[in-house]
Amino acid sequence: MASIKVRFCYNLLEIMARLYILHPVDRRFDPVPVHHSTFPATNDMHSNKIAAIPAGIHYGGKRSASRDLLIFLSVAAAMVTAGNADENTVPRPPASKEGALAEKINAQTRKLLPAKPDRNEIFDAYVSKTSPDVAWSRAWMKAIDFSGVAWDNPRTLTLISPRHALMARHYQRKVGSKVTFHDKRGRPVTRKISGIENLIHDIAVVILDEDVPATIKSYCLLPPGESYSELLRGSHTLITAWAKGERKVRIHAISSVHAGLVSFVDVATLPAKFFDPLIAGDSGNPSFLWLNNEPVLIETHTYGGSGRGPFFSTPENFAKINAAMLKLSKADKAPVHQLRTVPAG
């Protein structure tokens, strides 16, 4: 009971500080938009509403007047928490596991990367007027099988079975649209979208009119779990992008997994050329972890900057995607497919 009272006091102090310091009129400068499960049009990369806090902003003119109050509240909250650390009942994963998965992913990812980054393009040449084939890149990303991503349109689709794919709910193709994948030899495989099921967190599940052949990759996910924010924090991530017609892959790092979303940051230990902010037109492009020589799908982009989008391996997102795949398969009288996973370790 005492720990509950302590946490309540701490939260109350923190809320008072935030409300006093950040004047409501300036909340429009919040660099990360508030997420809503219904996804109004103003909450994505195409709303032009994502803005960094301008230099020199004074938070409604109250900054200097509230400095002493902020210091007092911050110190009081820290003292309350420190004095009752032994009563903190929030569970943590075992120390032996925390960080081990991220270290493994980072070690394997670094083996992919050249000592001096040169180019990040996924293709040497995409389809032309004279040929439907593509030439996959001969640079460092040639080891990654991107054949399961439909790159023929900025509204990319990413396969999770031979028949199903994921795309951004706010930036999707229509039922009946043609979708073209390319196998590792560069030859096209074209299908049509037969149905779409829209879910929470900007997720849209697609069913195609026919299975793709085995020469086209469909991606595995991590098993559903609740501890990925700790297990994956700092993990290097393959971030793909399509904006300006340039299909590229960058390296960002996982910052957190929270409320069904995963957020990314720059990787300070890698050359700057591996990082590039996401912009309008990159929505829906997939992100992968490189684990045991396989790209493991974790997200499709919703927000710009360093990137943020639905984390597919939370128990809720994972279950809803599986349910949508089953529903679409039954409606189409198609073979039933479910999500496949790789061991998280």
Judge contact between 296 and 342, C-beta under 8 A: yes
Read off the pTM.
0.74
Strands 261-265 and 248-258: antiparallel
Q: Domain span at residue 124?
A: 96-345
Among residues 87, 114, 147, the one where a domain terminates is 87
Given a cut of 90, is residue 76 above it in pLDDT?
no
Co-location of 135 and 279 in the same domain: yes
pLDDT at residue 45, rounded to an integer: 54
> Percent of the chain scored above 70 by pLDDT?
71
SS3 at position 70: helix
Domain end marker among 87, 106, 126: 87
For residues 289-298, average pLDDT: 97
Percent pLDDT > 90 in the chain is 62
Cα 296 versus chain centre, distance = 12
228 shares its domain with 254: yes
Does one domain contain both 17 and 73?
yes
Question: 14-65: per-residue pLDDT in tens?
Answer: 444 444 333 332 322 233 333 333 333 344 555 433 333 233 333 334 444 4
Query: Of 87, 115, 145, which marks where a domain is finished?
Result: 87
User: Does residue 11 have a pLDDT over 60?
Assistant: no
In CATH, what number is assigned to the domain containing residue 276?
2.40.10.10
Number of compact structural domains in the chain = 2
pLDDT tens per residue across span 150-162 = 999 999 999 999 9
- DSSP characters over 177-200: -EEEEE-TTS-EEEEEEEEEEE-S
Residue 308 has phi, psi (to 5 degrees) of -165, 140
What is the secondary structure of 197-238 as a DSSP string? Answer: EE-STTEEEEEESSPPPTTS----BPPP-S-HHHHHTT-EEE
What's the sign of the alpha-carbon dihedral 109, 113, 115, 121? Answer: negative
Mean pLDDT of the chain: 79
Span 319-342, average pLDDT: 97
pLDDT of residue 65: 43
